[in-house]
Each structure stands twice: as C-alpha cells, then as structure tokens.
Amino acid sequence: MRRWISCIAVSLSLLSGTAIAADQSTHEAADRWVQIIDQGDFAKSWKEADAGFQANVSELQWTQTLQQIHAQTGKMLKREFKTEDIKSDLPGAPAGKYKIVVYQTAFEKAPQVKETVVLTETKDGSWKVTGYFLQ
C-alpha cells in the first residue's frame, strides 16, 4: 500500500512539473514576442506569428500599424505579467487551444496599458502568437 501511494505522489509531482513547464513555455513565448516589438523589429514579429494571424493582416499592414502605435505610446518602460488564461474557443477563431497572457505595461507616453497576447498551440506543439491587443 505504501509503495502504491509513493508511486501516485511521484506521478503527481511529475505531472505538475510538466504542466508548469508548459505554462512557462507559453509565457516565455509571449515574452520573447513582445520583446521583438520592443526592439522595433515589427516585420520579425509578424514572421514569428501564427499563420492565422498572418492570413488576417499583411506584413506591411502590421508594420505600419505598429509604427503608428509606437509613435503614440513611445518606448516600453516596464512590463509586468498579470495573468494567463486557457481557452478552447475564442469569438471569431476556430476551435483550438489558446492561452491569453496579460501584462500591465508602462510606455513613455502611455503609463497604464493592458497588453494582451493571445497564443495558439500549433500542430508541432509549439505556441505562436495569434492576437495582440492594447487597451
């Protein structure tokens, strides 16, 4: 009986470790992607986004939009992770596995911005950005 309980405890700790690692990888993917935007490499952010994102907005439209936003907000000063949520469906998006990462961000000209990055799980198990919103 003790051996069986020990096996369950070990299995649960391994499973929870896997879940934590998966959450860290999506959070890290979101962090890396917004850092590309912070560096001003708007074209690269488009290229590293999900195919669904790329189908909805051209690279030129994306870079022009981010240039306008950057002119209004200025340089990113501070970004603080707030929440991460898991969804299986989103309005206007196909069914799938999504993670929504929310930051509280301060920019030079906009000190209180809610920054939301939506990621989707790809066929190979990696996470790519499929949405980006500022409020």
pLDDT tens digits, residue range 51-62? 989 999 999 999
Closest by alpha carbon to 118, among 96, 101, 93? 101
CATH of the domain at 129: 3.10.450.100
* Domain count across the chain: 1
pLDDT at site 39: 96
Residue 5 banded pLDDT, cuts 50, 70, 90 = very low
Residue 126: inside a domain:
yes
6-42 confidence digits (pLDDT tens): 222 222 222 233 333 345 577 899 999 999 999 999 9
Tokens at residue 51, please?
């195919």
Q: What's phi and psi for 48, nearest 5 deg? A: -90, 0
Determine the structural domain holding residue 82 and report its residue range: 26-134
pLDDT at site 10: 27
Could you tell me which residue, 135 or 122, shows the higher pLDDT?
135
Residue 33: inside a domain:
yes
Residue 39: inside a domain:
yes
Residue 30: inside a domain:
yes
Residue 75: inside a domain:
yes
